[in-house]
Amino acid sequence: MSDRFKKENINKILVLQTAYIGDVIVSTGILRELHKIYPQAKIDIITTPLSAELFKYNPYISKIFKFDKKNWKYINFFKLLKTLRTQNYDISFSIQSSFTSAILLYLAGINIRIGFDKQLLTTDSLAMIEKSDRHRSENIVNLLTLLDHTGKFDHQSELFLSDQEKEKASSIIRELGAGQEKLIGIAPGSVRETKKWPPSYYIELTKKLRDTRTYLFFIGGVDEAQLCDHIIQTSQNHNAKNLAGKLSLLESSALIQKMDLMITNDSAPLHMANAVNTDVFAFFGPTIKKYGFFPYREGDKIFEVKLNCRPCSLHGGASCPEGHQLCMKRIRPEKVLPAIKKKLNITDK
C-alpha cells in the first residue's frame, strides 16, 4: 500500500454516486469494503434526493449529501461545492464518469480523486473490465485495488432495513392472508419503455398464476400504479395486491426480502432483490448481460432472446429503433410460467 493510502493518512472519505436507483444500489458494496480498509475513517456520500433514503440506516455512512441534478442543477452544484470545501476530505471516489462529478470533486479541493479511466480530473484511475460474466458491482469494488492490490473485495450489494420497514412488510402479507402459499413480487414498470415486458404478457402470466398456490405483490412507483391496477383487474387474480406508489424504497425492499421470487424487468427492483438476497427472474430486451447490471445470485435467471438488433441501448429507450420490440415480445409467458413453477415447486390448486 502506498504511503498516500496508509490508514493514518485517511480520516475522511467521500463517495459520489448520483445515477439511477439501481446503479446506486449496485454501488453499495464499496462502502462496506472501504470501512474494512479504513475502519477509523468517516465515509460520506453524495447521491440524489430520491436515492438518499437507501442510506438511511447504512452503518458505514456518516453524512449524506443530496445533489438534485434535475431541478436548479447549477445552483445546487455551487451550494454543494461550498459545503464540500469545508469538509477537508482526504480521498474521494467517483463511481460515475461524468464531467459534473469530475469538476465537483476537483473544485472541492480533494487531493486524491479515484475513478474509472474515462473520468476526467482523477489522480488515480482504473480501467473498467467489460466481460459477460463480470458484474458492475465487481468493477466498482475493484477500484479499491488502487489502494491495496493484495486485497480481496466482496462486491455483494446490501440495503439496511429497520424493524419498522420489516414490520410494514409483514403486515402487508398478513392482510392478504398468505399462509403456505409462495410469495411472488412483480415489478412490471421501468423508466424506459423498451425495457418493459408487454403488459399483456404480465396479464397472461398473472391470470395463469390464479390456479396456483401463490400470492402476488405488485411493486413500483406512483407512475406505475395504474399499470399494476390494469394487470390485476384484467387478470382477475384475487390473490394479487397492488402496492405501486404506496411504499418507500426501503419498505419496498423489505417486502421484496420476504418474497420467494421477484419477477421484474431490467430495473431497480432487480437490484433491490439482489441486495436483500431474494431470487430474481428478469426480462432483458434492449440491454444485455455484458453491460454489467444483471442479476448475479445463483438462483437468478435472465429471460432473453437472440436478435441481430440486440443490444440497442445501454439504458433502454423510449421506443424500439426497429419499431417491433421483438426482444420482449418473443419472451412468451408460456416459457416463463413453467420456470416459475419449477423454481418454486408449485402446482395448480
Q: Do 194 and 330 fall into the same domain?
A: yes
Number of Cβ within a 10 Å radius of residue 124? 16
Crossing angle of helices 73-84 and 99-107, rounded to 10°: 30
Within a domain: 190 = yes
Give the Cα separation of 229 and 227 in Å (integer).
5
- Residue with grid cell 448475479, as numbered in its chain: 296
Give tens-digit pLDDT for 149-177: 777 899 999 999 999 999 999 999 998 88
Name, in order, each residue with C-beta under 8 angstroms of 217's C-beta and a sequence gap of 6 or more: 172, 173, 176, 183, 184, 185, 186, 240, 241, 243, 255, 259
| Poorest-pLDDT segment among 34-48, 124-138, 293-307 | 124-138
Q: Do 121 and 210 fall into the same domain?
A: no
Number of Cβ within a 10 Å radius of residue 306? 7
Name, in order, each residue with C-beta under 8 angstroms of 75's C-beta and a sequence gap of 6 or more: none
Number of domains in the chain: 2
Which residue type, as a one-letter code, is found at position 238? Answer: H
Within a domain: 302 = yes
Give tens-digit pLDDT for 64-82: 999 999 888 999 999 999 9
Q: Do 202 and 337 fall into the same domain?
A: yes
Within a domain: 156 = no
Q: What is the mean pLDDT of residues 178-185?
A: 89
Q: What is the mean pLDDT of residues 103-111?
A: 97
Task: State residue 263's pLDDT score.
Answer: 98
Task: State residue 149's pLDDT score.
Answer: 77
What is the average pLDDT score of the chain? 95
* Structural domain that includes position 115: 3-146
Please state the separation of Cα 21 from the chain's center in Å.
5
pLDDT band for position 133 (cuts 50, 70, 90): confident
User: Of 118, 146, 174, which residue sits at a domain end?
Assistant: 146
Phi/psi at 126 (5° precision): -140, 145
Q: Do 209 and 131 fall into the same domain?
A: no
Within a domain: 284 = yes
- Residue with grid cell 433502454, as numbered in its chain: 316
CA distances to 37, 180, 220, 246 from 53, in Å: 25, 33, 16, 15
Q: Do 21 and 62 fall into the same domain?
A: yes
Within a domain: 47 = yes
- pLDDT: which is higher, 2 or 331: 331
Q: Do 324 and 274 fall into the same domain?
A: yes
User: Residues, the chain, total?
Assistant: 349
Q: What is the mean pLDDT of residues 251-272?
A: 98
Q: Do 340 and 193 fall into the same domain?
A: yes
Give the Cα separation of 269 and 299 in Å (integer).
16
Task: State residue 277's pLDDT score.
Answer: 98
Locate 348 and state its grid cell. Answer: 395448480
Rg of the chain over CA atoms, in angstroms? 21
Beta strands in the chain (DSSP E): 12-16, 42-47, 63-66, 91-94, 112-116, 124-126, 182-187, 214-218, 240-242, 261-265, 280-283, 301-303
Task: State residue 127's pLDDT score.
Answer: 92
User: Of 112, 146, 180, which residue sits at a domain end?
Assistant: 146
Q: What is the mean pLDDT of residues 199-223?
A: 96
Q: Do 103 and 181 fall into the same domain?
A: no
Please state the separation of Cα 192 from the chain's center in Å.
15
To 10 degrees, the CA torsion angle through 55, 60, 64, 67?
-80
Locate 124 and state its grid cell. Answer: 488515480
Q: Do 68 and 216 fall into the same domain?
A: no
- Residue with grid cell 398478513, as numbered in its chain: 174
Q: Do 138 and 202 fall into the same domain?
A: no
Give tens-digit pLDDT for 283-339: 999 999 999 999 999 999 999 999 999 999 888 889 999 999 999 999 999 999 999
Task: State residue 129's pLDDT score.
Answer: 86
Which residue type, as a one-letter code, is found at position 106? Answer: Y
Within a domain: 349 = no
Task: State residue 110's pLDDT score.
Answer: 97
Q: Do 205 and 76 fall into the same domain?
A: no
Task: State residue 130's pLDDT score.
Answer: 82
Give the Cα separation of 83 and 63 in Å (integer).
12
Locate 243 and state its grid cell. Answer: 402496492
Give the Cα separation of 53 and 249 in Å (integer).
7
Q: What percent of the chain has pLDDT over 70?
A: 99
- Residue with grid cell 429503433, as numbered in its chain: 321
Task: State residue 314's pLDDT score.
Answer: 82
pLDDT band for position 1 (cuts 50, 70, 90): low
Question: Smallest Cα–Cα separation from 198: which of 238, 226, 231, 223?
Answer: 231
Within a domain: 152 = no
Q: Do 259 and 339 fall into the same domain?
A: yes
Secondary structure letter of residue 143 according to DSSP: G
Locate 279 and state its grid cell. Answer: 431470487
Residue 131: pLDDT over 90: no
207: CATH: 3.40.50.2000
Task: State residue 323's pLDDT score.
Answer: 93
Q: What percent of the chain has pLDDT over 90?
A: 88
